[in-house]
Structure 1
Amino acid sequence: MTDDEARFAYLAEGNAKQARKRVAVDLLIRDEAGRILLVNPTYKDNWDLPGGMVESNEPPRAAGVRELAEELGLTVTAGRVLVLDWVGPHGPWDDQLVFIFDGGTLSPARVKSIEVRDPEISEFRFVELGEAKNLLRPDMAQRLVRACNALTTGITDYSE
């Protein structure tokens, strides 16, 4: 075995033992009135921000853009990270990282072009922050408030 092969084998063994994190991505998208885009997933009890789970070896930003296109036929450029959370193990789930990216503001024409394209989503709507907090799970509502604050301050919010 050459030195390069031995080094590669050593690194591969380390990679196999290191943690693999689940990663979720959401996008904070607004209309020109400042209302927030929410989706109503068919597999959850509460509304949610648009987004989803990152696939193996997929960059989080690309996953958010992909999920939005698949679910609502909407193409956006995911901007800066507003929120990054580490969520500990819960129920049957291992820990995960949750990103919220700035999905920007849509013109009225782009809002009209949105259509549900995935059976995982039953409907969507744009709502004020107060209504969004009532429709979302409490932990997601708290993340949304932090994301809105990050839009204003320019500072990414990280939490564990």
Structure 2
Amino acid sequence: MDWAPHPVEEDKLLFVFDGGFLFPGERAQINPDGVEIGEYASHAVDQIDTLLIPHLARRVHAALDTGSRLETTDLKHGTAWL
């Protein structure tokens, strides 16, 4: 969970979920609706910082780190704070 306080737009609560591993046959069944989700892609962990803006990259790195410990973490702008 990532708390993103904002002075104008109101606070936001964002969640990152681990979707697990998808086998090739499962990936072939993904069919974006073209409205809410236009496309999807898989990327290596070492590409996170080049693909995402900094606060989103921090959020994904924190989620990967937390998931490797089988824990949950409270974040504020992508950084652990509790």
TM-score by length of 2: 0.78
**Distance apart, 1:122 and its partner CA:** 3.4
Cross-structure match for 1:94: 10
Structure 2 counterpart of 1:149, which letter? Answer: D
- The number of residues matched between the two structures is 76
Would you tell me which structure has more strand in proportion to its own residues? 1
Cross-structure match for 1:149: 65
Larger radius of gyration: 1
Cross-structure match for 2:2: 85
Percent identity over paired residues: 29
Of structures 1 and 2, the one scoring higher in RCO (CA 8 A, sep 6+) is: 2
Deviating above 4 A after TM superposition, structure 1's stretches of 4 or more consecutive aligned residues are none
Cross-structure match for 1:35: none
Cross-structure match for 1:158: 74
Structure 1: runs of 5+ lacking an equivalent: 1-83
TM-score by length of 1: 0.43
Structure 2 counterpart of 1:88, which letter? Answer: P
Structure 2: runs of 5+ lacking an equivalent: 77-82
Q: Distance in 2 between matches of 1:130 and 1:110?
A: 24
